[in-house]
Amino acid sequence: MSKKLTTREENYSNWYNELVSKADLAEHSEVRGCMVIKPHGFSIWEKMQRALDDMFKETGHTNAYFPIFIPKSYFSREASHVEGFAKECAVVTHYRLKNDEENGGIVVDEDAKLEEELIVRPTSETIIWNTYKGWIQSYRDLPILINQWANVVRWEMRTRLFLRTAEFLWQEGHTAHATKGEAIAEAEQMLDVYATFAEEWMAMPVVKGIKSESERFAGALETYCIEALMQDGKALQAGTSHFLGQNFAKAFDVKFVNKEGKEELVWATSWGVSTRLMGALIMTHSDDQGLVLPPKLAPIQVVLVPIYRSEEQLNDLREKLEELMSKFKSLGIRVKLDDDDKRKPGWKFAEYEMKGVPVRIAMGPRDLEAGTVEVARRDSGEKSSVAFDDVVGHVEGLMDEIQKGLYDKALKHREENTHTADTWEEFESIINGKGGFVLAHWDGTAVTEEQIKQKTKATIRCIPLDGDTTPGNCILTGNPSARRVLFAKAY
């Protein structure tokens, strides 16, 4: 398989697809819409999971697990939720197959039809609130701060690896609170956790904001989100946190007795990020040579490649490289020595470049004599000869430098591609031209929002929590606008 990618310039979409495949991240399965997450892709996802899970636990959450199947009737209980979620989904109708006596093979056993169909969860609010009903009686039982790591299924006809797949992996937090204020504080806290994770771990700057009413989660009173800008000028929603009010408590009759002995409905939040973050990570940093990874999320941070002609040379090099390896390990740097004899150095260089290993160290017989190694940075492509004795300290510094460099570069890209538009012409020309984020005035109505979407495919990504709150006039209708909101075409 050729390791050369279509360039971003030539065809951004092909570049993405080829990179995901060639960097061993994921591939389409033969099951429509479902992906296989390959070892390298999964190892990055695991790093994300671990970091997020630690942050959830630091903020007082615990993990639990709820059934994958949800009885169909549960979805009808929360009126807006059913519209948003229960339509395109995988429906289990039978629980047995049998041998096909006539034609061979196996067929569905019609005698094993379920009384009520089960839906493979598209999200778990309904089954979780049905469970919480049994867990909550008194204010003493609150808050409940639970997260679940799970697979979910939303039937999708047009899929793209990581960005939109029928089955995907995610985490969904579901919390229950005694007061409205506590629930809102929770939803806001988790938005901050997501933003911190995106910026500090993924090196991906994000805009924190709230969704317009029509972009809200089905069943939420408020949806908070983080939005990132990809290299092609399109936005990507990277995480959402919902204040659900008492909607699910009402739907599933979940009440508690407060300190004063009075019964009240429970307040709820839910929040989630998914394997979609893998798509965001790829499209934020990668280049025409392949994946670029921030060191904090790189499964292998440093790869050591010996360059040799003879077994004897290899042995000498291996001794030095193993010495380096143990020094890196003692510093907690994830390192791999690739002395696989089945592959040539050139193949290995291309492979680790494609897979986004942040630092490559090569050592050949001449280096051995000179007491040096060649250090190559994946982000800048820069190569330098470093004295063997200095290399550990040098690389340790590079880890921070690359992490910060990637963030700064992405932030610069976002800043250069965030525009303000004051007229419809200006707005249209940016959206249809160079793209990017556009801060513009909007009259606050769903009708105008829909018209702008129809005309340009741009949507309101969010109403930023920070930023300009000067009033003005809607770019489309000229009606009064309370403040600028953030528009973009989005993934």
Please give the DSSP secondary-structure letter assigned to residue 4: P
Position 261 contacts a second copy (CB under 8 A): no
Structure tokens at 51: 């970091």
393: which 2 tokens? 């300290």
Closest contact distance (angstroms) between CB of 91 and a second copy is 4
Within 172-212, residue ranges assigned H as helices are 180-196
* Residue 88 in contact with a second copy, rule: CB under 8 A: yes
Closest approach of Cβ 237 to a second copy, in Å?
22
Do residues 230 and 280 lie in contact, with contact meaning Cβ atoms separated by under 8 Å? yes
In angstroms, the Cα distances linking 231 to 45, 160, 270, 287, 288 are 21, 17, 30, 10, 12
Candidate residues 51, 90, 350, 490; the one interacting with a second copy per rule CB under 8 A: 90
Q: Nearer Cβ to a second copy, position 117 or 401?
A: 117
Residues in region 420-459 near a second copy by CB under 8 A: none
**Any contact of residue 103 with a second copy (CB under 8 A)?**
no
Residue from 48, 55, 89, 410 in contact with a second copy (CB under 8 A): 89
For a second copy, what does the binding mask look like between residues 293 and 332, x meaning CB under 8 A? ----------------------------------------
Burial level of 69, CB count in 10 A (0-12/13-18/19+)?
A: middle
Compute CA distances 316 → 17, 85, 290, 338, whole Å: 41, 61, 32, 15
* Contact between 411 and a second copy per CB under 8 A: no
What is d(CA 432, CA 414) in angstroms, rounded to the nearest whole number? 17
Closer to a second copy at the Cβ: 14 or 93?
Answer: 93
- Residues from 21 through 80 that contact a second copy (CB under 8 A): 27, 29-31, 34-39, 41-43, 46, 62-73, 75-76
Whole-Å CA distances, 398 to 24, 197, 202, 322, 393: 25, 21, 16, 20, 9
User: Per CB under 8 A, which region of 144-152, 199-207, 232-240, 289-297 contacts a second copy?
Assistant: 144-152
Of residues 153 and 266, the one with the C-beta less far from a second copy: 153
Q: Is 338 in the site for a second copy (CB under 8 A)?
A: no
CA dihedral 354, 357, 359, 360 (to 10 degrees): -60
Query: Which residues of this protein are in contact with a second copy, per CB under 8 A?
Result: 27, 29-31, 34-39, 41-43, 46, 62-73, 75-76, 82, 86-98, 104-106, 108, 117-120, 127, 130-131, 134, 140, 146, 150-151, 153, 155, 167, 169, 342-343
